[in-house]
Amino acid sequence: MYNKNEFTLEEKFTLKNDFPIPSLDDWKLLVGAELKGADFQKKMHTKTYEGIELKPIYTKNDLTDNVIKNSYPGTSNFLRGIRASGYHSKPWNIAIEASADSPEELNSILVNDLNKGANSINIVAGSSTSSVENLEAIFKNIDIGKYPILIHAGVSNLKTVNALKLYCDKYKTNKKNLNCGLLADPISYLSLNGKLEEPIEKIFEDISSATEWLNENLSHAKSLLVNGFTFQNSGSTAVQELAIILSIAVEYFNRLSNNLISIDEIAKSMLVQVGVGSNYFVEISKLRAIKILWKNLLSAYNINEENQKIFIHAKTSMNNQTLCDAHVNLLRTTTEAFSAIVGGIDSLHTNPFDELFEKQNDFSRRLARNTQIILKEESHLDEVTDPAGGSFFVETLTKQIAEAAWIEFQNIQKLGGIIEALKSGYIQSEIEKVTSAKLKDVRTRKAIIVGTNMYANPKENNVSDKKSINKNIDDQNSSMKILKQFRPASIFEELRIKSEKYLSQFGNKPKVFLMNMGSLKQFKARADFSRAFFEIGGFEVLYTNGFNSSEEAANAFNSSAAKIFIICSTDETYPELVPSIIKKVSKSAIKILAGYPNEQIETHKENGINEFIYLGCDAYSVLNAIYKKLSNEIF
């Protein structure tokens, strides 16, 4: 019978004594036993592209001498944000970029966005904002005093500022109420084009005039875009992007102070734009690190504390967007937006999922807006202040990124600053080292792009219909090396396009016959791997139930109309199976072995095996080589 006295709780809890806290060494002993002698450092530590080694576990001891101590939101180094109340007092701006072929079309897009959840205006329009007539059409039926406005004006913003001046005079707009960023960005243009159309001194004279007018007439104005996104989109690491941001800021200080603008006016005129990639914790830490670095840089110029506050506009990355299975872009953008908001941005553009290959349209813009609205209204990310603050891992990573970025910033400055570092090719070469490593990881599928180099949709047959927007400029009369945009998925998309050409020519995709040998246990793992491997290249995979003899397998292949086969079984069976099967099939067949039995490789090559596929192999090279072998048919 139940006796309540047996379950009476003691007046004082002793859980700490009942469950002693294990030490880090205790944890390592348990992990070491699970690793069964494998190297702990190699198995449990991960090195990022930034060169930072991530540990498997962090403790409070990792926060020794960390700036997080005695740091609070809205105070000190602004690590935890420039406002004590975080997003409670001021949510981030939902700022989806808008561009169009005409001012009237642009107006239609903006009105629709503002009526359906956007709370700011973000125009990427260039020359279309340089006349008062165009501004009248763009802002028709829009109260420009009601919304924050960003206009990416291009190399110089003087014409856009002059147009706004005339617009305000004509409509008697209270300029003091305007919250505008009319943003000049000459350094991005130089990096992507290799040259400027006018002397840089003239460009900065114009930017200086625009900055002076904005500071004198608007209470909340930004005129200078410190654009890290251009470099992130070209493949830079978080460390490189932050170092470049600091160097661009210094370039503005140096050139505009020569035009007699005060250091404080320059500081409050700058807006920092960052790219947000897919490495969740690195991106959160990067966004927190830039606040420390920005404070350090501006303190060195003795700028007053109010003007040391950074405004961060973030853009979700373009370099991991795909043509294949494009709706997966929605997932990429969502995680990137999540990390941007947790990292403490002030304004955010989320990519429409089809931005890579379609003109702007209502459907994808709606999804881009709603990505942020859901994070705000349903995930309630606006209800927490610096949620990553205090995490042993994030705080340590923030510190490591900040320290590494400051060192790289100094390296750039030693070369004479950002412009000289671009002219010398240093920035481009350093980024290329990173993109080479990233591309290798994509080719070998160490880095997974869902729907493209892994988990492909075999029923998708319209990749070639999607025209990727390629903004790289190759034919330039410039001695400066041009910064290339980086999108590693494109190499696998090329393979899928080849598959679709084959389908158009022959009525079917190139067929791959899985020569599954022996029992299910013997072939299944490698057969499943092989099917997924070839589907990312756009091949039709003929998955068989398994064969008991090489003769049976060869006969089935010969009658399949496939030109490629893969032998799938175990390393132990291969020495006997491979030569027996190859003798019974056409010499012109492309012969592949699933696996890489080291001691057998040369023998299998001598017997006629063309390629080996295995975990970690260069999937792109193998698949591309097979398409080259089919070249006598179509390519």
Place of tokens 């090489």: 550
- What b-and-e string marks burial along 608-619, b requiring 16 or more CB atoms within 10 Å of the CB? ebbbbbbeebeb
- The pLDDT of residue 531 is above 70: yes
**pLDDT-wise least confident of 203-212, 351-360, 458-467:** 458-467
Q: State CA 256 to chain mean position distance.
A: 32
Place of tokens 């990310």: 381
- The pLDDT of residue 633 is above 60: no
Q: Would you say how long the chain is, in residues?
A: 635
What's the confidence (pLDDT) of residue 635? 47
Helices vs strands, H then E, count in the chain: 23, 16
Which amino acid is it at 566? I
The model carries a pTM of 0.93
**By the 8 A CB rule, do 228 and 242 touch?**
yes
Distance, in Å, from the CA atom of 400 to the CA atom of 481, rounded to the nearest integer, reads 30
Q: How large is the average pLDDT for residues 344-348?
A: 97
Tell me the pairing of strands 46-47 and 53-54: antiparallel
What's the confidence (pLDDT) of residue 382? 93
β-bridge partners, 512: 541, 564
Distance, in Å, from the CA atom of 204 to the CA atom of 186, rounded to the nearest integer, reads 9
Distance, in Å, from the CA atom of 352 to the CA atom of 456, rounded to the nearest integer, reads 21
Alpha helices in 145-199 (DSSP H): 158-170, 186-193
Strand ranges in 177-243 using DSSP code E only, listed in sequence order: 179-184, 220-227
pLDDT band at 81 (very low <50, low <70, confident <90, very high): confident
- The pLDDT of residue 368 is above 90: yes
**pLDDT-wise least confident of 75-79, 533-537, 574-578:** 75-79
Retrieve residue 149's tokens.
């406005």
- The pLDDT of residue 473 is above 90: no
Rg (CA), the chain: 29
**By the 8 A CB rule, do 417 and 408 touch?**
no
Strand ranges in 411-464 using DSSP code E only, listed in sequence order: none
**By the 8 A CB rule, do 566 and 532 touch?**
no
Retrieve residue 119's tokens.
């709370």
Distance, in Å, from the CA atom of 323 to the CA atom of 458, rounded to the nearest integer, reads 14
What's the confidence (pLDDT) of residue 181? 96
User: Please, which residues have CB within 8 angstroms of residue 501's CB and are 6 or more apart in sequence?
Assistant: 464, 634, 635
- The pLDDT of residue 296 is above 50: yes
β-bridge partners, 517: 547
Q: How large is the average pLDDT for residues 357-364?
A: 93
Q: What is the DSSP letter of 23?
A: P
What's the confidence (pLDDT) of residue 17? 76
What's the confidence (pLDDT) of residue 65? 73
The tens digit of pLDDT for each residue in 22-65 reads: 889 999 999 999 998 899 989 999 999 999 999 999 998 898 77
What's the confidence (pLDDT) of residue 520? 96
CA dihedral (490, 494, 499, 503) positive or negative: positive
What's the confidence (pLDDT) of residue 68? 67
What's the confidence (pLDDT) of residue 19? 79
**By the 8 A CB rule, do 398 and 288 touch?**
yes
Q: How large is the average pLDDT for residues 483-512?
A: 95
**By the 8 A CB rule, do 151 and 180 touch?**
yes
Mean pLDDT of the chain: 93
pLDDT band at 2 (very low <50, low <70, confident <90, very high): low
- The pLDDT of residue 1 is above 70: no
Alpha helices in 479-519 (DSSP H): 489-506
**pLDDT-wise least confident of 1-15, 67-81, 397-411, 415-429:** 1-15
What domains are defined for the chain? 86-423 (3.20.20.240), 508-629 (3.40.50.280)
CA dihedral (487, 491, 494, 495) positive or negative: negative
- The pLDDT of residue 392 is above 60: yes
Higher pLDDT, 501 or 127: 501
pLDDT band at 631 (very low <50, low <70, confident <90, very high): confident
Which amino acid is it at 446? K
The tens digit of pLDDT for each residue in 170-196 reads: 999 999 889 999 999 999 999 999 999
**pLDDT-wise least confident of 66-70, 203-207, 432-436:** 66-70
Strand ranges in 117-202 using DSSP code E only, listed in sequence order: 121-124, 149-154, 179-184
Q: How large is the average pLDDT for residues 629-633?
A: 75
Grouping H, G, I as helix, E, B as strand and the rest as coil, residue 331 is: helix
Q: How large is the average pLDDT for residues 126-151?
A: 94
Angle at 221 between CA 220 and CA 227, to 5 degrees: 130
The tens digit of pLDDT for each residue in 540-599 reads: 999 999 999 999 999 999 999 999 999 999 999 999 999 999 999 999 999 999 999 999
Strand ranges in 72-164 using DSSP code E only, listed in sequence order: 93-94, 97-98, 121-124, 149-154
**By the 8 A CB rule, do 335 and 372 touch?**
no
pLDDT band at 6 (very low <50, low <70, confident <90, very high): low
Distance, in Å, from the CA atom of 568 to the CA atom of 549, rounded to the nearest integer, reads 13
pLDDT band at 370 (very low <50, low <70, confident <90, very high): very high
